[in-house]
């Protein structure tokens, strides 16, 4: 089960919210203090989106009064890098967990490797196919297809301006809560993303 049948009254990491504004700044050139002073025309645009988002702040950090902001990721259409891998086509949520090397890439790419390369890869422990994506299962009442988040695309909501009202506002916008197993998978993948060793 990907989502909880009986959501907790607490806001937890991985909760899905509807209608939050997510923002992205898109610079048209490299921005520094000096270029901002010299530019006479706009040198960046703001991308606004209204849709589904999930909170990626750790559950234990969300209620802390000293926490100044909460971090969210917007839910996006699944990237073709996922759908091109046969192992994930039947169940894209498999992508959220470590897999064998053979299942982490398209079959033509695997078949192009020598037998020695395949044997070497088979000896390695399971790992994530792509570290920075996490897939959300489709849910007919809200989104009819699988969606994903990209850990590189984070926007923040200030807690200070809302004070004590933010929690109730978020609860009113929450539509889904992950099951315990799905929360565990999200947390594990976030930890691996932020603390993994540099890839060679």
- pLDDT computed for residue 24 by the predictor: 58
Specify burial of residue 104 (Cβ count, 10 A radius: 0-12, 13-18, 19+): buried
**pLDDT given at position 85:** 94
* Mean pLDDT calculated for residue range 84-107: 94
Q: By C-alpha distance, which of 26, 147, 14 is closest to 79?
A: 147
4 within 8 A of 177, measured Cβ to Cβ: yes
Question: What's the confidence (pLDDT) of residue 199?
Answer: 47
* pLDDT number for residue 68: 86
Q: What is the pLDDT of residue 120?
A: 94
Q: Is the pLDDT of residue 81 over 70?
A: yes
User: Tell me, what's the pLDDT at 167?
Assistant: 79
Residue pLDDT, tens place only, 137-180: 999 889 889 999 999 988 888 877 666 677 788 888 999 999 99
Model pLDDT for residues 169-188, shown as the tens digit of each residue: 888 899 999 999 999 999 99
Cα 74 to Cα 1, 67, 172, 182, 194: the distances in Å are 22, 21, 18, 17, 18
d(CA 13, CA 62): 8
Percentage with pLDDT > 90 across the chain:
57
The pLDDT mean for the chain works out to 85
Sheet holding 76-77, edge to edge: 76-77, 147-150, 133-136
Number of neighbouring beta carbons within 10 Å of residue 94: 16
For residue 69, pLDDT beyond 80 = yes
Phi, psi of 199 (to 5 degrees): -75, 145
């Amino acid at each position: 089960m990907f989502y909880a049948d009986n959501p907790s009254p607490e806001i937890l990491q991985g909760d899905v919210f509807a209608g939050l504004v997510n923002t992205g700044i898109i610079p048209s050139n490299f921005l520094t203090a000096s270029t901002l002073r010299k530019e006479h025309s706009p040198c960046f645009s703001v991308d606004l989106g209204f849709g589904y988002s999930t909170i990626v702040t750790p559950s234990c950090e969300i209620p802390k009064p000293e926490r100044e902001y909460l971090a969210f990721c917007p839910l996006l259409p699944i990237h073709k890098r996922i759908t091109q891998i046969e192992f994930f086509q039947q169940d894209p949520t498999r992508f959220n967990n470590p897999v064998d090397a053979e299942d982490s890439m398209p079959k033509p790419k695997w078949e192009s490797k020598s037998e020695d390369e395949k044997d070497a890869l088979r000896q390695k422990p399971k790992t994530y196919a792509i570290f920075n994506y996490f897939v959300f299962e489709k849910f007919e009442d809200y989104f009819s297809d699988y969606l994903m988040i990209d850990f590189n695309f984070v926007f923040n909501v200030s807690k200070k301006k809302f004070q004590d009202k933010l929690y109730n506002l978020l609860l009113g916008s929450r539509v889904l809560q992950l099951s315990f197993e799905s929360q565990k998978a999200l947390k594990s993948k976030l930890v691996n993303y932020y603390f993994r060793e540099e890839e060679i």
